[in-house]
A = this chain, B = another copy of it.
Amino acid sequence: MPESLFNRQFNINEQQNLLTVMQARRDVRGNRFSDKPIESADIDTILEAANCAPSVGFSQPWEFVLVNNPETKQQVVNSFHQVNQQAKQFNEGKQTEYAKLKLEGIQEAPVNIAVFYRPSKMPVLGQSSMPETGRYSVVCAIQNMWLMARALNIGMGWVSILQANEIKTLLNAPDDAELIAYLCLGHVKEFLEQPELEKLKWEKKKPIKSCVILDSY
């Protein structure tokens, strides 16, 4: 029996533990994954974490395709390379750095999960004025997965250098499904102390004060 959640109060150690998981979470790429397989119980826990995410009108509009077939993975890699070829929008110095980055881990990660948004066929409470909250619900589920994976000492990376519709076709997804994210999961050789793009000085960490406004802009 799971403990009752009713009015469950968390203590300072549990609060600190949560913040540490958030701070220690990384976006993991193919240069960090080890080939140790993921236990199926861990996959179940990660999916359980996804499935208790918030969703607009309790619509739970998420679907998860566990991609294990090596041929399918290779097709996703091909799609990545095709899109990545076109990523020439950085200035000259950054283009050289960009070429050195490992930006996906599709083959290296033992588990890939394509996450889709399946809109409800019925009206959803709270969604009519902000239709994008359906997609946002799926993203909340993805963030739960990311944190749960990290707590299980499993790395996760979100590959966005893809054409969503190409992946949708590859996975034979129905017309009304929309790809939100393509995720790579695996044990890692190491978790970095800082996000890789911070460490490489690609972007600086923003101080929280620069992002907070009191009452009105």
A40-89: which residues lie under 8 A (CB-CB) from chain B?
44-45, 47-54, 56-60, 62-69, 72, 83, 86-87, 89
Q: Which residue of B lies closest to A196 (CB)?
A: B58
A92 contacts the other chain (Cβ, under 8 Å)?
Answer: no
A178-204: which residues lie under 8 A (CB-CB) from chain B?
180-181, 190-193, 195, 197-198, 202-203
Would B19 and A18 count as touching, CB distance under 8 A?
Answer: no
A173 contacts the other chain (Cβ, under 8 Å)?
Answer: yes
A5 contacts the other chain (Cβ, under 8 Å)?
Answer: yes
Which chain B residues border A53 with CB–CB below 8 Å? 22, 143
Which chain B residues border A143 with CB–CB below 8 Å? 53-54, 139-140, 143-144
With A139-B136, A152-B10: A56-B215 Cβ-Cβ less than 8 Å: no
Would B22 and A129 count as touching, CB distance under 8 A?
Answer: no
Q: Which residue of B lies closest to A217 (CB)?
A: B172
Would B17 and A17 count as touching, CB distance under 8 A?
Answer: yes
Which chain B residues border A48 with CB–CB below 8 Å? 19, 208
Complex Cα gap A189–B157 (Å): 38
The interface bits of chain A over 145-159 (1 if a CB of B lies within 8 angstroms of the residue's CB, else 0) are 011101111000010
Which chain B residues border A21 with CB–CB below 8 Å? 10, 14, 18
A109 contacts the other chain (Cβ, under 8 Å)?
Answer: no
Would B22 and A217 count as touching, CB distance under 8 A?
Answer: no
Would A64 and B125 count as touching, CB distance under 8 A?
Answer: no
Which chain B residues border A205 with CB–CB below 8 Å? 60
List the interface of chain A (C-beta within 8 A of B): 2-10, 14-15, 17-25, 27, 44-45, 47-54, 56-60, 62-69, 72, 83, 86-87, 89-90, 98, 101, 103, 123, 125-130, 132-133, 135-136, 139-140, 142-144, 146-148, 150-153, 158, 160-164, 171-174, 177, 180-181, 190-193, 195, 197-198, 202-203, 205-206, 208, 211-217
A–B pairs, 18, beta carbons within 8 Å: A5-B23, A8-B20, A8-B191, A10-B21, A15-B148, A58-B198, A60-B205, A65-B214, A66-B212, A68-B215, A87-B129, A129-B160, A129-B163, A136-B181, A139-B143, A143-B143, A147-B147, A171-B217
